Amino acid sequence: MQQPHLGVQSDEQGRTSTIDPTKHEDLSTLCQRLHARVSAFIAAKAPEQGYLRSTQEQTRVSLRVIEEALDRYSLDQLSLSYNGGKDCLVLLVLFLASLHTKRLSSNRPLLQSVFILSAHPFAEVDDFVNDCIRVYSLDLARYAKPMKAAFEDYLNEKPNVKAILVGTRRTDPHGENLTHFDETDRGWPRFMRVHPVIDWHYAEIWTFIRHLEIPYCPLYDKGYTSLGGTTDTHPNPALKHDIDAKGNANEIKYRPAYELIEDNEERLGRDR
């Protein structure tokens, strides 16, 4: 049986409370609680085969990458790219847990972060991001412009930032050759891109989110699996469910994003 985490509410099996989107905690308390929850997840007994065990290993690797970034850079030199999507949500939780490990969350009211908005944003994404600003104590700079110009502006406004943590995964566009630490390409504003979740599989992302009971954007419950803008993003056809319980044709519905398994089907709902 797991031991309860000192200073953090937990039950007799060591399970800790998860994020309550209706409440606001100071950053230090939040980091402590997320560290306890991530630690309990890693320590949980898992079957030899299956996504739970592989997700635990991915979590360990990602934490080591984040801790290396925290060794290389001061917190003032680090920022987080955050758009409310599932991948950067996992990254955010791991980053906050690591801040507690490194004892870096004390006396820090807000966390530097940057959001590059879609030209045609979903209202649900905007609402979720606004919730995240409050819940996770984000100092979120928003830019409604192309990515290169947005980062140029951000670094001009935040000249101390030398590295940005990004939730890119191997199956994302241009992600196949990335490593955990990559300088930006020639012609781009200079900073180190840190990719802690680069090797996570789609199903592992959802295993982490659901096991830790992390609140996520409600579009994922409507069959969206990769979030862009309203003009280029649709429910994933692989999740289409147009037969009712009695086997009769019914209105088209979509199963939730976490029921998808294959990495190569994740972007079937994106036009690009």
pLDDT tens for the chain, residues 1 to 272:
333 333 334 444 444 456 777 777 888 989 999 999 999 999 988 887 789 999 999 999 999 999 999 999 999 999 999 999 999 999 999 999 999 998 887 667 789 999 999 989 999 999 999 999 999 999 999 999 999 999 999 999 999 999 999 999 999 988 889 999 999 999 999 999 999 999 999 999 999 999 999 999 999 999 999 999 999 999 999 999 866 555 565 678 899 999 999 999 999 998 86
Same domain as 223, residue 188? no
pTM above the 0.85 mark?
Answer: yes
212 inside domain: no
The single-letter DSSP state of residue 259 is G
8 Å CB contact between 79 and 69:
no
Q: Is residue 256 part of a domain?
A: yes
The domain that holds 163 is classified in CATH as: 3.40.50.620
Question: In this structure, are 104 and 223 located in the same domain?
Answer: no
Domain count, the chain: 2
Answer yes or no: do 100 and 177 share one domain.
yes
Chain-centroid distance, C-alpha 80: 10
177 plus 225 within the same structural domain: no
Is 211 inside any structural domain?
Answer: no
Q: How many H-runs (helices) and E-runs (strands) does the chain carry? A: 6, 8
Work out the angle between the directed axes of helices 51-72 and 86-101 (0-180°, nearest 10).
60
Q: Could you tell me if 31 and 153 lie in one domain? A: yes
d(CA 187, CA 190): 9
Determine the structural domain holding residue 229 and report its residue range.
217-265
If asked whether residues 230 and 142 sit together in one domain, one would say no
Question: Is-contact 138 131, C-beta < 8 A?
Answer: no
- Residue 118, amino acid: S
One domain for residues 176 and 240: no
